[in-house]
Structure 1
Amino acid sequence: MQLTRITLLATTVLAATVLGNTVIAHADDTTDGKTTTRANFTVNPGTLSLVSVPTEINFESATLDQLLATKTPSLAMDAKTSVNPTIVVQDYRGTGSEWNLKANVSSFKNGSSTVEGTMTLAGTADLANTDAVSTFNGGTIGSGDSLVWSAKEANTNGIDQATETLGSGTQLDLTNKEGLQNGTYKGTMTWTLANDQSSAVSQG
């Protein structure tokens, strides 16, 4: 919550005539003039927030023989079954603020079977401080943190929010298919939003 403090300082000047021990003020004794009042307010910085990340990203299904026939099979995101495939970053800390958003993806497990993969994030981005909508490319995400988005690209400039919606071009590449079997493989993405190496907000 932003806090606003308002301070008013006022001074009044009155011309007077002194007669002996008595002060007598008459309308005719005052002079026309101007006096000033200072009016101030303080804007406290807001916060950097990772408001939304995708709830669930589902990829298209394939048969076992199709996956085994390709060295590094690619599976496109299924937009119909994916849940809230949206990234929203808010930054109200003040003009010129920087941030970066990173993510990693775990192994994918199906019973006793575990396979590895990398994800490529792509879609459309509604940039802050402009009416423009641009193509979003979040790069390749593996088991280690990878840069997904930054203040420079999103153009939040410390005074707005930016939204990115995953869509066409988002895919999963299986890099290790050893022990691949029928069934549903599940993994987890972890997101980290930070303005420096010592401050982060994570969602996993």
Structure 2
Amino acid sequence: MKQSKFVLLAAVTLASTTLMNVAVAQAAVESGSGVAATADQAAEATTTAEFSVKAGQLTLDAAPDFNFGETSMQAIIKGDALKQVDNKVSGTHDDSHNADGSIDKAAVDTLQVSDYRGAGNHWTLSANMSQFTNATTKTAVGGVITLGGSQLGLNAKTISTNASADLLTSAAAAAASEKNVEGLSTVSDTLAAGSTLKLNTADLKNIQAGTYNAAITWTLSDGIASEVAAG
């Protein structure tokens, strides 16, 4: 009998607690306290829906190598331009200067920039080239690479020894294709064919047999070209 009374008391206590919790929850919104709707006037309320966007990064994903093949000493002395053969070279990308990541070493024919920082952001891509140095004799010669085959709307189409040129801007890329939205897209193209190399005439007296390599430095900067130069 005592056990039955205890069970009954516990049940009553639990029911009372539940009713109190419901009452407290219901008391949070007082009945009839809202906006009244009448025959002449509808009731309206405004609430908020929300989401957040995390900004992405501005990145240089890939940059091309250029192989201008093998030519004769006679053609070099004549000053003939060397035509691009492919993008396979004996060396590899040297990206040890980049502590925050590396470019795609397999995509040797691709120039690619990604910008997902959001609308209203701009960028400028420039490039300059060292002298071509003979791997064996260490003799050097300057030159100019004229880029061909790109559909990116390049601002400049030459990469020169010891001279920096603004090759591409986000604005120019956007003008070339509607899919290249500034701050919200990946701009990419292949430079697999059509480029040429013209060596500096004054340096031809230094030419010797062997393989010549030059380092091309690609610099991706945040901002419009004129602002980057001014800064």
Q: Report the TM-score when normalising by structure 2.
A: 0.62
2:87–2:108 contact (8 Å) kept in structure 1: no
Find the counterpart in structure 2 of residue 78 from structure 1.
Answer: 85
Distance 2:130 2:87 in 1: 23
Name which of 190, 193, 209 aligns with 1:168: 193
Name which of 150, 159, 168 aligns with 2:169: 150
Query: Are residues 1:112 and 2:138 paired?
Result: yes
Number of matched residues? Answer: 163
Q: Aligned letter for 1:41?
A: F
Specify the SS of the correspondent of 2:111: strand
Query: Are residues 1:139 and 2:164 paired?
Result: no
Specify the SS of the correspondent of 1:57: coil
Q: Aligned letter for 1:165?
A: T
**Relative to 1, partners in 2 of residues 1:136 and 1:168: Cα closer, same or farther, differing over 3 Å?**
farther
Query: Gapped runs of 5+ residues in structure 2?
Result: 1-27, 38-42, 90-106, 175-180
Query: Gapped runs of 5+ residues in structure 1?
Result: 1-11, 17-30, 128-134, 199-204
**Relative to 1, partners in 2 of residues 1:137 and 1:166: Cα closer, same or farther, differing over 3 Å?**
farther
Specify the SS of the correspondent of 1:169: coil
Specify the SS of the correspondent of 1:167: coil
2:154–2:173 contact (8 Å) kept in structure 1: no
Distance 2:54 2:126 in 1: 27
Instruction: Pick the structure with greater CA Rg.
Output: 2
RMSD: 2.6
- Percent identical among aligned pairs is 31
**Relative to 1, partners in 2 of residues 1:161 and 1:57: Cα closer, same or farther, differing over 3 Å?**
same
Q: Aligned letter for 2:114?
A: Q
Query: Are residues 1:53 and 2:77 paired?
Result: no
Higher mean displacement: 150-159 or 180-189 = 150-159
2:87–2:109 contact (8 Å) kept in structure 1: no
Distance 2:188 2:157 in 1: 17
Distance 1:122 1:152 in 2: 20
Specify the SS of the correspondent of 1:153: helix
Structure with the higher fraction of residues in helix conformation: 2
Distance 2:76 2:44 in 1: 84
Specify the SS of the correspondent of 1:190: strand
Query: Are residues 1:62 and 2:71 paired?
Result: yes
- Runs (4+) of structure 1 moved beyond 4 Å? 31-37, 135-138
Distance 1:195 1:158 in 2: 11
